[in-house]
Structure 1
Amino acid sequence: MEVNFKNNGDSYFYRFIGINDTKKYNDELKTLQFKSSELENTCLIFDNEVPLSGEMELIQYIYNELQTMNINDMINQDITIFDDYQVNNKFLEALQYVVNLGICNENFFNDNVRNNFITKVIVWAYTYAKSIDFTKEYNPMCIYYGKIEKHEIYFLILLYKMGFDTIYINPLKEEYIEEIDKDKLSICKKSMQIGAIESFNERCEKGNVIENVETITKQIQREIHEDIFVNTGIFKPWQFRNGFSKSVLLDTIVEDIYIYYNEPAKLRDGFEVQGDVVKVPTFFYKIDGEYTDRAEYIKLVSHCLESYSLSNSNTLFIDDGNISSDEDLNDDMYQLMFCQLSDGTFDIEEIKKLDIYKFKKYNEVLQNFLLNKFNEVIKRDDLFVKKLDKDSCLKLLVLVLNLDKNIIRIVDNFDFVYNIPKIVIFLNKEDILSDNMIMLLAYLHNIGIDIIIFNPSGMCNLSNIIRNDKFNLVRLQKISYETTYNKLILSLAKPSVFTKLFKNK
């Protein structure tokens, strides 16, 4: 959340939505509050509302005057709020813009409703902007934190058009601005996490003023990074450690597994970097049946498990269908339901306070990544056959919080640009995956993990839970109800000398 307090040119209008790191976020708000206090008579701060504190007599007077005014020509009406002619004229131009925008967007029921809106904006300008010193070497500033109503958005736009550097901050969600700001006056900076709104002062009380002087060494390091690693296709290790992944399904044929499966993300079709978000092209395959030629089937399974036996492997192999623990779901669900926010997502900071939270031993970046990926999954309406209801969301959250440690480790070792973590599942005989495990697989794939499911019997149906277009399904030449991974391993073994001798005879 970088703010320039010495902007002598055009004003800016930024919206900061969401949180990256709660502690850093509170520190940034505290610093913003502290720096703002140094701007004598040039800064407005609104905390979850713009109070309408004008006297009733003034409000009624402005409302009555509007009855005789030409609303389409506010600039030439007899309205004087600011003593400085140029400032007042700029206010009238901004007011005309906001009035026109409001009429276009809101379709006011009648003139009275319209005039109520205009009266409120003028009263706010009189109450809050009249005392602002417009003669300073820097632009005046307006900071609005928290929930916001539509009329308050129009007021922010008016201030911006008057020359205020305008900042809207909401740790939880975007509200109305995109549908109102038709001319794209504001620029949105979104973070992947969310947090409870609280109040500006409450958050500031939890933060500390950032006193950070960048060293010469740090400056040089940053410049080298910008010159070499930004927009060049060259990436340094863990460049996106504080970023986010976006899984993109590779729509391929089985033969492509031999070509792309062991390739790093940056060499796969569809790889892309947008800011701190890395699009990771991934496999999600369910392979039913076997090839008629058993050797060909063994070759395919072996290829997918090539890296499994290597040290520091990023591949997990599961041959019993139990991907992770799903015990004690109901007990844990009860505790988690109180962490749910009004938009359906969950407050990750509240989750961390619970006794059932087991991620505390892991680094903060990994914890936030896993929890925010969960929030991302439950907000999606294109992943599951049926959008997750409240119980399903709670159930999935418990599953995530009880992730097998080996899964957490391969995620922790996931450098989005390079080697992609993999989960290979072999379902023996007529084994299937439970609905819980299928739901968890959807979450893991959303992280950017390659998932290959070998299902010789073809009896496991992912399509009951996950939409058909979110994974690849292929049916090989024959269905086998007796194949197990152990039998397959035995057939992988090379025949002994004695076997060859007997065979020759």
Structure 2
Amino acid sequence: MEISLKYLISTMFKPKKDSYFYRFIGIKNKDEYNNELKVIQLKCNEIKDKVIIFDNEIPLNGEMELIQYIYNELLTMDIYNMANQDIVIFDEYNINNRFLNALQYSINLAIQNEKFFNDNIRNNFITKLIVWTYTLVKEMSISEEINPKVVYYGEIERHEIYFLILLYNMGFDVIYLNPLKEEYFDEIDADKLSILIKEIQIDTVDSFEERCSKGKLSENIETITKQIQSEIHQELFVDTGMFKPWQFRGGFTKSALLDTILEDIYIYYNEPAKLREGFKVEGKVVKVPCFFKKIDGEHLDQFEYQKMVRYCIESSNTLFFNHGNISRDVDVSGDMFKLMFCQLSDGTFDIEEIKKLDIYRFKKYSNEIQNFLLNKFNEVIKRKDLYEENLDKEASLKLLVLVLALNEEIVRLIDNFDFVDRVPKIVIYLNSEDGIIDNMKLLLGYIHNIGIDIIIFNPSGLCNISNIIKNERFNNTRLQNINYNSNYKNLTKVNTKQSVFTKLFR
């Protein structure tokens, strides 16, 4: 999981053993960025003795006498062996020793990178690091309960970067924030101690105080907390095989056809998506292995056929249709033509404009499910491997009308789809020589693209869906007996009781 500033806010004030060093360059949203800085400011004020905030600079507050004294002492020291020099800033030995080792690291790094012109310039740099530590860090409360922290916002000079590295090596959590640009870190941080998180948008630097004054706290803390919670759940559960209920609400699916034989229905059909072969999660996209199977004819043994039909129909989370009209067959007419003005240059449709129309009927559902249904439509019309003929402008409009008029029960089936758990199912049983009209076949392609299991029982074998849907997008099985007079009601009357001999020898 890529760390976000929101996530870091949620964890930076909790007990943590290992220190971290993050650079956040650029912004996602100006208002949200100001709100996040406001939260950081508030949290830092609660533990003032454990936090330093630098606003566009690190002030050099040491008196001239102190600065001169440290500089003179350096003249007699081995700067390549600072850990053994007589420098005591912190009363506690372990903390002072960590400081000396961190100081040595920054000195060595600077000598390697800066190629100091002479010893005076080098010693001025080392003096600055020591003075900064003495005046800014000495009085901080450094304990094992919570890592001390430094937040640097804005423009930064090279020497200041070495000081941040020093603090990180002492055990500080370090956060560098710059809404505009990256500065010098790639040149200086040779060992990649810091991790860069970069956003596409940029904004003026201003000052930390100015941004915090524009941030809003009361109405944004709850929103930020909810977003933090979502990201924490993402980190805890993804790639572990464990998933929190509705973890991917607001995510997307990618359907994958289960290439199975008929007997596999009894093996995989009632398995949750996460246990099916081919299941995969990439970010917020869940690859859902699903059935799309048309079964022509019947078993010679009516009991076996009835058993299979009942097994599919009686599975949980299933909609059963004893005909091919799974939804309303709506023509493009009248107000429907308004949808044409929502089409974009790439052939897809502007989902926000669709939502504004009078004919739009998904408003009572959550934004997540509305966006999912409409974005899935846009995905379908761009696919080249689903339908026999690519959808032109007229066919795309027809499918959109059908999707917007989708059977309410199917919409609710999708709304109740958790992506990783129970896969929703549609079972169709066609009586006699009944078929499925082309518009419903278009809809079946759309429904399959969502990742829903589809089973079509076609005893007469006369229903052809390959005139609309490509053969490779569904499995077709032909059984021994073609029955042109099959009827679901008659099938349910088949005697399912078996004799002892039948049970023994079947």
Normalising by the smaller structure, the TM-score range is 0.5 to 0.7
Helix, strand or coil at the partner of 1:372: helix
Report if the CA contact (8 A) 1:159-1:166 is conserved.
Answer: no
Is 1:450 aligned to residue 453 of structure 2?
yes
Report if the CA contact (8 A) 1:289-1:480 is conserved.
Answer: yes
Is 1:168 aligned to residue 200 of structure 2?
yes
- Alpha-carbon distance change, 160 to 11 in structure 1, aligned in 2, over 3 angstroms: farther
How far does the alpha carbon of each residue in 1:113-163 deviate from its partner, in whole angstroms, 9 at most, with x for none? xxxxxxxxxxxxxxxxxxx966597676459xxxxxxxxxxxxx9999999
1:378, distance to aligned residue in structure 2 (A)? 1.1
Equivalent residues in 2 for 1:267-282, closer than 5 Å: 267-282=275-290
Is 1:212 aligned to residue 220 of structure 2?
yes
Is 1:260 aligned to residue 263 of structure 2?
no
- Alpha-carbon distance change, 492 to 320 in structure 1, aligned in 2, over 3 angstroms: farther
- The residue type paired with residue 397 of structure 1 is L
- Alpha-carbon distance change, 268 to 159 in structure 1, aligned in 2, over 3 angstroms: same
Is 1:360 aligned to residue 368 of structure 2?
no
- The residue type paired with residue 265 of structure 1 is A
Is 1:330 aligned to residue 338 of structure 2?
no
* Pick aligned residue for 1:434 from 433, 437, 443: 437
Is 1:317 aligned to residue 329 of structure 2?
no
1:71 paired residue number: none
Helix, strand or coil at the partner of 1:408: helix
- Alpha-carbon distance change, 217 to 408 in structure 1, aligned in 2, over 3 angstroms: closer
How far does the alpha carbon of each residue in 1:363-413 deviate from its partner, in whole angstroms, 9 at most, with x for none? 221111111111111121111111111111111111111011110111111
How far does the alpha carbon of each residue in 1:234-270 deviate from its partner, in whole angstroms, 9 at most, with x for none? 1121111121111111000000001111111111111
Helix, strand or coil at the partner of 2:466: helix
1:213, distance to aligned residue in structure 2 (A)? 3.5
Residues in 2 aligned to 1:352 and 1:476: alpha-carbon distance in whole angstroms: 45
Helix, strand or coil at the partner of 2:333: helix
Tell me, which stretches of 5 or more residues in structure 2 are unaligned? 10-19, 38-53, 58-113, 115-153, 161-175, 189-195, 202-214, 499-506
Report if the CA contact (8 A) 2:233-2:247 is conserved.
Answer: no
Is 1:294 aligned to residue 294 of structure 2?
no
Residues in 2 aligned to 1:219 and 1:35: alpha-carbon distance in whole angstroms: 12
Report if the CA contact (8 A) 2:459-2:483 is conserved.
Answer: yes
Count of matched residue positions in the alignment of Structure 1 and Structure 2: 340
Aligned-pair Cα RMSD in Å: 4.2
Report if the CA contact (8 A) 1:321-1:433 is conserved.
Answer: yes
- Alpha-carbon distance change, 384 to 31 in structure 1, aligned in 2, over 3 angstroms: same
Helix, strand or coil at the partner of 2:422: coil
Helix, strand or coil at the partner of 2:394: helix
Helix, strand or coil at the partner of 1:273: strand
Residues in 1 aligned to 2:445 and 2:224: alpha-carbon distance in whole angstroms: 46
Is 1:343 aligned to residue 346 of structure 2?
yes
Helix, strand or coil at the partner of 2:200: strand
TM-score (normalised: structure 1): 0.58
2:32 paired residue number: 31
- Alpha-carbon distance change, 159 to 475 in structure 1, aligned in 2, over 3 angstroms: farther
- Alpha-carbon distance change, 285 to 142 in structure 1, aligned in 2, over 3 angstroms: same
- The residue type paired with residue 288 of structure 2 is V
Residues in 1 aligned to 2:460 and 2:35: alpha-carbon distance in whole angstroms: 66
Helix, strand or coil at the partner of 1:300: helix
- Alpha-carbon distance change, 41 to 436 in structure 1, aligned in 2, over 3 angstroms: farther
Report if the CA contact (8 A) 1:377-1:443 is conserved.
Answer: yes
2:382 paired residue number: 379
* Aligned sequence identity (%): 58
- Alpha-carbon distance change, 365 to 494 in structure 1, aligned in 2, over 3 angstroms: same
- Alpha-carbon distance change, 479 to 333 in structure 1, aligned in 2, over 3 angstroms: same
How far does the alpha carbon of each residue in 1:288-343 deviate from its partner, in whole angstroms, 9 at most, with x for none? 11112222111111111123xxxxx5101111210100124333541111111122
Helix, strand or coil at the partner of 1:343: coil
Q: Which moved more, 1:395-404 or 1:267-276?
A: 267-276
* Pick aligned residue for 1:243 from 223, 243, 251: 251
Report if the CA contact (8 A) 1:248-1:281 is conserved.
Answer: yes
Report if the CA contact (8 A) 1:34-1:209 is conserved.
Answer: yes
1:467, distance to aligned residue in structure 2 (A)? 1.0
2:238 paired residue number: 230
How far does the alpha carbon of each residue in 1:16-68 deviate from its partner, in whole angstroms, 9 at most, with x for none? 8xxxxxxxxxxx454358999xx9999xxxxxxxxxxxxxxxxxxxxxxxxxx
Residues in 1 aligned to 2:294 and 2:476: alpha-carbon distance in whole angstroms: 5
1:478 paired residue number: 481
- Alpha-carbon distance change, 376 to 227 in structure 1, aligned in 2, over 3 angstroms: closer
Helix, strand or coil at the partner of 2:494: helix
Helix, strand or coil at the partner of 1:458: coil
- Alpha-carbon distance change, 490 to 247 in structure 1, aligned in 2, over 3 angstroms: same
- Alpha-carbon distance change, 344 to 419 in structure 1, aligned in 2, over 3 angstroms: same
- The residue type paired with residue 489 of structure 1 is T
Tell me, which stretches of 5 or more residues in structure 1 are unaligned? 17-27, 43-85, 87-131, 144-156, 170-207, 308-312, 496-505
Report if the CA contact (8 A) 1:241-1:415 is conserved.
Answer: yes
Equivalent residues in 2 for 1:185-196, closer than 5 Å: none
- The residue type paired with residue 265 of structure 2 is I
How far does the alpha carbon of each residue in 1:203-247 deviate from its partner, in whole angstroms, 9 at most, with x for none? xxxxx9786337999799679746742321111211111211111
Is 1:421 aligned to residue 424 of structure 2?
yes
Report if the CA contact (8 A) 2:35-2:220 is conserved.
Answer: no
- The residue type paired with residue 275 of structure 2 is L
Residues in 2 aligned to 1:437 and 1:257: alpha-carbon distance in whole angstroms: 24
Helix, strand or coil at the partner of 1:345: coil
Helix, strand or coil at the partner of 1:464: coil
- The residue type paired with residue 31 of structure 1 is E
Is 1:395 aligned to residue 427 of structure 2?
no
1:482, distance to aligned residue in structure 2 (A)? 1.0
TM-score (normalised: structure 2): 0.58
Equivalent residues in 2 for 1:51-200, closer than 5 Å: 135=157, 141-142=179-180, 167-168=199-200
Residues in 2 aligned to 1:373 and 1:366: alpha-carbon distance in whole angstroms: 10
* Pick aligned residue for 1:305 from 313, 319, 322: 313
Residues in 2 aligned to 1:432 and 1:34: alpha-carbon distance in whole angstroms: 58
1:81 paired residue number: none
* Pick aligned residue for 2:415 from 412, 417, 429: 412
* Pick aligned residue for 1:370 from 368, 373, 379: 373
Helix, strand or coil at the partner of 1:463: coil
Residues in 1 aligned to 2:491 and 2:362: alpha-carbon distance in whole angstroms: 37
